[in-house]
Amino acid sequence: MDFRRSDFPDDFIFGAATAAYQIEGHSFGGAGPTHWDTFAAGPGNVVRAEDGAVACDHYHRYEEDLDILKNGNFDAYRFSTSWARVMPDGRTVNPEGLDYYDRLVDAMLARGLKPFQTLYHWELPSALADNGGWMNRDTCQYFGDFTDVITARIGDRVDAIATINEPWCVSYLSHFLGHHAPGLRDIRAAARAMHHINLAHGVGLSRLRSHGMKNCGVVLNFAHTEPKDDSAAAARAAAVGDAIANRWFIEAIAKGSYPQEALEGLEPHMPDGWQDDMAEISQPMDFLGINYYTRNLVHADPDAVWPHVAAEDGPGDKTQMGWEIFPQGLHGFLTRMSRDYVGDMPIYVTENGMAWDDHVENGSVYDPVRMKFVSDHILAAKDAIADGVNVKGFFYWSLLDNYEWAFGYEKRFGMVHVDFETLKRTPKASYEAIKSAISR
Ligand code: PNW
């Protein structure tokens, strides 16, 4: 690793991130069915039609997993609280689910790990999905009710709380590109979801404030977006692509408006009266979480429906996902977000990491590509700090190999290897390298 903890401010947080559906095992503890179970069962949606029924069995093994974090010298754990576990039909409380998160948070505190909670990391209860999910405005208020219930139980012990993980994935990737649940390819559905998920953030934040919660924010994903060539058409396409992927959500949340390049195509499909929601969406928050992975090159596709854009992976070295390794992009987004949207508000890198086809050999996993990846991205965050950006922490995605959504268990993002037959955990070489770089 080319960095040390001492290169960063004293209060800089090093952590690792996970999400409930990807690790817990949703067949345990009375969790309800989610739209991911339905999506996974559909033909051609998920590699080998795998789902999160068992995943890493973190529900039963969380103490072992938190020990791994603690022994790795990490300061914080970014986890999510599953709506479908706490309220199996989206509206009725499952006491077993609340008890579980109560134990989980106490187990973090017992190890000196700061709990960084995310309220919604994608497991929408099926009962709500069947009622239109994020296309239905009612889902926002039900999300608010879930926020109330979980916050009343664990809000006194969490350090930071994010409303929604990656609104772009929840809406555009899931309702227009069709890659995630519910798997729609419909611009009208996407436009509604793209607004409602912002509103859900606003409603969630209002409820958090009513509980007196501090340190509240949102987690957005960003992809470095460039035109594929020098043509004016590619430049226009990249501007539209950037407006959808990198501006729609932050502009609404930080400024209360939508970027014109995206609104142009989406306005005709938006729910009536959307303008009246912008004040609630843009109420002040306390931090911005940035998830960053890669660079895309964009060109115009006049044959496609609006937005008439096509994106491809950048040209450099690729991860197991096929995503280009492009650390400069993280530096770029940290400075851009500070300059254009959030000023001096604390920013956390809430996810960054890479998948590789890791194997256990002689009891260990050697992953030098990941070591360099992590090191280079953490140095990009350090560069942003040197530029005056208020970056307060970095969370590696992910603690464990886990359920990688449409890719099932095939793509391995963990700094800890999981054997999905035996569920045995094996820390990878990257874990050991990070551990020694961040020791105190
Ligand atoms: C994020 N894309 O998802 C999520 O927050 C994690 O749950 C996930 O495991 C991780 O990144 C790795 O994929 C994304 O297609 C999924 O651009 C897809 C995209 C971006 C982020």
Q: How far apart are the first and last CA of the chain?
A: 15
C-beta 98 within 6 A of ligand 1: no
C-beta 161 within 6 A of ligand 1: no
- Closest ligand 1 atom to Cα of 398: 9
The maximal CA–CA distance of the chain, rounded, in angstroms, is 61
Token couple for 2: 């080319």
What residues does 162 pair with on adjacent strands? Answer: 118, 217
Write out the binding residues for substrate.
22, 121, 165, 293, 397, 404-405
User: Which residue, by CA, sits nearest to atom 7 of ligand 1?
Assistant: 19
* Helix (H/G/I), strand (E/B), else coil: 375: helix
Helix and strand totals (H; E) in the chain: 17, 11
| pLDDT attached to residue 105 | 99
| pLDDT attached to residue 425 | 98
| pLDDT attached to residue 233 | 97
* Helix (H/G/I), strand (E/B), else coil: 415: coil
C-beta 351 within 6 A of ligand 1: yes
Tell me which CATH code domain 5-437 carries: 3.20.20.80
Q: Which of 195, 202, 201 is nearest to 135 (CA)?
A: 195
91 half-sphere exposure, CB direction, 13 A CA radius: 10
CA dist., res. 351 & res. 348, Å (int): 9
DSSP 79: E
What residues does 426 pair with on adjacent strands? Answer: 417
C-beta 221 within 6 A of ligand 1: yes
Give the global pTM.
0.98
Token couple for 52: 């999160």
Contact 220, 288 (CB under 8 A): yes
| pLDDT attached to residue 290 | 99
Pinpoint the alpha helices (H) of 72-129: 83-86, 95-110, 126-129
- DSSP notation for 255-280: HS---HHHHHHHGGGSPTTGGGGHHH
- Residue 16 alpha carbon to ligand 1 centre in Å: 15
CA dist., res. 311 & res. 393, Å (int): 30
Rounded average pLDDT per 10-residue block, the chain, 440 residues: 98 99 98 98 98 98 99 99 99 98 99 99 98 98 99 98 99 98 98 99 99 98 98 98 98 98 98 98 99 98 95 98 98 98 98 98 98 98 98 99 98 99 98 98
| pLDDT attached to residue 211 | 98
Kind and range of the H or E run holding 313: strand 309-313
Which positions are catalytic? 166, 351
DSSP 157: T
| pLDDT attached to residue 317 | 98
CA dist 237 to 100, 243, 311, Å? Answer: 46, 10, 9
Token couple for 312: 């491809």
Contact 165, 120 (CB under 8 A): yes
- Closest ligand 1 atom to Cα of 173: 15
